[in-house]
Amino acid sequence: MRRRRFIGAGAAVAAAAALGARAQGGLAPSQDLTPFIAKITGGKPVERGGIEIEIPAVAENGNSVPTRIRVASPMSPEDHVDAVHVFAPRNPRPHVATFHLGPQAARAEISTRIRLAGTQKVTVLAALSGGRFRLGDFEVLVTSAACLDESSL
């Protein structure tokens, strides 16, 4: 008898999980970041790599996702990171933040907490001294998206 009930409960949980997945699928699709990036780079070439984005691969709560960004750079007056731009393409406003560093910043490393409206590829654009640019991204699975109620807007 109890086993029946247990199986029934399990099925209900599975159904709820499937429903949750569908609800997330109904969120806004990923926006194309090309215009955002082009506005910053001004059409200059962008390299890949050299950026480490540390986010838990599965974020339980999209309202507060701990994020650490590290850009490989000696941070000397000649060769340093000028700015770090963070994008979340599936957020209603994809541009999350911009951090301005300089040679006085000892390391090109920033930790913060961001909002993520659903599973998406967090993208970081680093502006280096001398007009060079680097791009990196990291796929995050978000179990409970930030501000789900806005999906109905």
The residues that touch another protein, with contacts defined as CB under 8 A, are: 63-65, 86, 88, 91-102, 104-107, 109-116, 147, 149-150, 153
Nearest to 138 by CA among 117, 110, 119: 119
Least distance between another protein and beta carbon 80 (Å): 11
**Which residue type sits at 117?**
A
Cβ nearer to another protein, comparing 70 with 134: 70
Least distance between another protein and beta carbon 124 (Å): 13
Cβ nearer to another protein, comparing 5 with 149: 149
Q: How far is CA 22 from the centre of its chain?
A: 21
124 vs 135: CA distance, rounded Å: 6
Cβ nearer to another protein, comparing 94 with 136: 94
33 vs 86: CA distance, rounded Å: 11
Least distance between another protein and beta carbon 99 (Å): 5
- 39 class by beta-carbon count within 10 Å (0-12 exposed, 13-18 middle, 19+ buried): exposed
Other C-beta atoms closer than 10 Å to the C-beta of 70 total 19
Cβ nearer to another protein, comparing 16 with 98: 98
Least distance between another protein and beta carbon 113 (Å): 4
Least distance between another protein and beta carbon 37 (Å): 16
Cβ nearer to another protein, comparing 46 with 83: 83
